[in-house]
Amino acid sequence: MEIQSPLGMQDILPEDVPLWKKVESAMHRICALYRYSEIRTPLFEFTSLFTRSVGEVTDIVEKEMYTFTSNTDSTPISLRPEFTAGIVRAYLQHSMHKQKAFQKFYAFGPLFRRERPQKGRYRQFHQFDIEALGSYSPYLDAETILLASDFLNELGLKEYKISINSIGCPACRAKYREALQNALAPRIGELCQNCQARYERNVFRIMDCKSEKCRAIAAGLPPIQQKGILCDECRDHFGKVFSILKATELEDRVNTFYAGQTTKAPKAKSIPNPLLVRGFDYYTKTTFEFTYSSALGSQDAILGGGRYDNLIEELGGPKSGAVGFAAGIERIILALKDTKTQLSFKKLPKKIPIFIASVTEQEQKRNQEQDTILRDAVFKITTQLRRDGRPADMDFENRSLKAQMKIANKLNYKYVITIGSDELKHDTVKIKNMNTGDEKTCPRKYMLEYLNGYDIVNLAHSESKEIQRLNEFLDLYNKAISLHQSGNENGAADSLNEAEKILIELKIDDAFLLSELYGFKGTVERNIEKNEEAENDLIESVKKNNEYALIWFVLCTVQKKLGKEDEAIKSFMKAYEITGDAWSDWAQREGNKKYFPSEFLERLKSEVEKQYVYDASGTQNVKNSMNK
């Protein structure tokens, strides 16, 4: 007999290793944007840790753990079947909660469960794990869901579905347990053997059974949202998570935060999944699951998680909230192979991490409704910065502004954005330099441009002693933004020309930062009909960073005005390659319609249809966007 690996084990062969590395690279990048710190825990723990956390009557503890004792110690130890318990144990053992109560971790590595092997499921498997410890905030629930969504989108796996539910607090669960047992009592004999045992020991697990017969019975069970089960606090928390996700205005994600809907589903017809549960006893309130079915068949879950507000206290720590998720890497690899996704990631530019702080209710004597509006705005800006490729974080503990600034300083943030009721009223933000104490107010719509200016100065500070000249550059750059905003394009062009001279003098050669400057300069020159100069600067910009879709769009309009229609088509196709249908929103802005006459749109539509293949729905969407 040939030597073989044990049942349920797999080898990661050389031809697959590059794909694994790219998945790991995406994980590290997304966690850096969300300011999660990597943690590495042992492969095995004392068995009691898992029985206390995961639950004694779960399949994992009863049937699936690899448990053994050493020759010198009779205390049983087990190979880790999941990450959460070990990370919470490390958080408490090393008194990390005393140094800083709220902490965010991520982990990657092998786990072990003795279960029946099937497609994408092995006895040694790998997970990407997220744990945020020390907060009850519903904004944290929303953040973890967005992080998971960003991770899958980064990998090109966009056709997933998300189910989300609340399973309530322990008091709600007790009521729901009784309601489920009452509903199931007349049909116990119809359940599979495992679920008949679960009826008394852990009735919630019946709703997660993979047996077709049990799933059909589970579909008729009463939802936890029915009147009288969820308490007001749990119901309000669940509702707030949904409202936060909607407020982010992320079309490609918000439409998926409901059961049974794809990323293109109509928002109005979406509903939560009232029967979603998780496999571990420690979950409370929010639970969620991402599925991707094409490559995985019925076992289509690729990521799942939720809130667990009692686990830290149950393991000997303080009463404290927490939320997290785990993603199955083997299943993600299968999905990537199925979609034949070509993963190629551009090098991330150097961007200064930003902390976003809010002026709290007590400090401004606002009512709770005003405070909620403010925190929604903070979360929205934090999300916007991360989507722009900038590491960013916010407060999840409802601290005072003074306490927020203190923690930002402790974590070495160079810049902090602050938002209060005045900033909300005037649609502005304040950007504070934590080293000098200087504070500037800028229009919120130009926030990203201001921060890009700070990036340039920060990069140069580390490479040059010409601080005075760099400050002059920043003043010119910010002046150009203000002039551009007020419609003084000639003045903006003059300021940018002077700013460019300083970068040339200081020999700043960072490609991304120069791309920003030349892209801005070319846009301004286009607006004052200096089209040849605009084309030269825009070409310089895309040479430095050819993944900036908006600059390709602007270059397309300039080349069209210069009569270079073939070049304009090529520029447009590059932008379309990056963003797809999103170009139509930009083209429809009032100031941009003049650049896209109907005959030019027809040619663009023709080029797109030649080079791209869509399903019936996708093609119609492209045509509708272009016809607009």
Q: DSSP secondary-structure letter at 396? A: S
**Mean of the pLDDT values across residues 238-248?**
83
Rounded to an integer, what distance in angstroms lies between the CA atom of residue 459 and that of residue 448?
16
pLDDT tens-digit readout, 545-568: 877 777 888 888 888 889 898 888
The answer to whether 392 and 351 are in contact (CB under 8 A) is: no
For residue 54 the two structure tokens come to 């995961």
For residue 568 the two structure tokens come to 């304009």
SS (H, E, C) 536-551: HHHHHHHHHCCCCHHH
Rounded to an integer, what distance in angstroms lies between the CA atom of residue 1 and that of residue 490?
81
Residue 616 has pLDDT above 50, yes or no: no
Rounded to an integer, what distance in angstroms lies between the CA atom of residue 26 and that of residue 32?
10
Classified as helix, coil or strand, 357 is: strand
The whole model's pTM is what? 0.72
Strands 354-358 and 415-419: parallel
Q: What is the per-residue pLDDT for 544?
A: 83
pLDDT tens-digit readout, 420-438: 988 988 899 999 988 888 8
What band does 599 get if pLDDT is binned at 50, 70 and 90? Answer: low
Rounded to an integer, what distance in angstroms lies between the CA atom of residue 442 and that of residue 345?
32
| Percent of the chain residues past pLDDT 70, beyond the cut | 79
Least confident of 34-48, 108-122, 242-256, 559-573: 242-256
Cα dihedral 616, 622, 623, 625 sign: positive
Task: Please count the other Cβ atoms lying within 10 Å of the Cβ belonging to residue 556.
Answer: 29
The set of residues, in sequence order, having a beta carbon less than 8 Å from that of 126 and lying 6+ positions away, is 108, 109, 110, 111, 328, 329, 330
pLDDT tens-digit readout, 46-57: 998 988 877 665
Residue 307 phi, psi dihedral angles, 5° rounding? -95, 145
Q: What is the per-residue pLDDT for 321?
A: 94
Of the candidates 71, 198, 186, 87, which has an alpha carbon nearest to the alpha carbon of residue 132?
87
**Mean of the pLDDT values across residues 472-488?**
86
Strands (E), 336-405: 354-358, 392-394
Rounded to an integer, what distance in angstroms lies between the CA atom of residue 259 and that of residue 262?
9
pLDDT tens-digit readout, 516-555: 889 899 999 999 999 999 999 999 988 888 777 778 888 8
| Percent of the chain residues past pLDDT 90, beyond the cut | 31
The answer to whether 349 and 389 are in contact (CB under 8 A) is: yes
Q: 460-495 burial by CB neighbour count: b if 16+ within 10 A, else e?
A: beeeeeeeeebeebbebbbbbbbbbeeeebebbbbb
- Of these ranges, 112-116, 140-144, 350-354, 547-551, the one predicted with the greatest mean pLDDT is 140-144
- Burial degree of 200 (CB within 10 A; 0-12, 13-18, 19+): exposed
- pLDDT averaged over every residue in the chain: 80
The answer to whether 115 and 64 are in contact (CB under 8 A) is: yes
pLDDT tens-digit readout, 247-268: 775 444 433 333 323 233 323 2
- Structural domains for the chain: 17-166+256-339 (3.30.930.10), 345-457 (3.40.50.800), 509-628 (1.25.40.10)
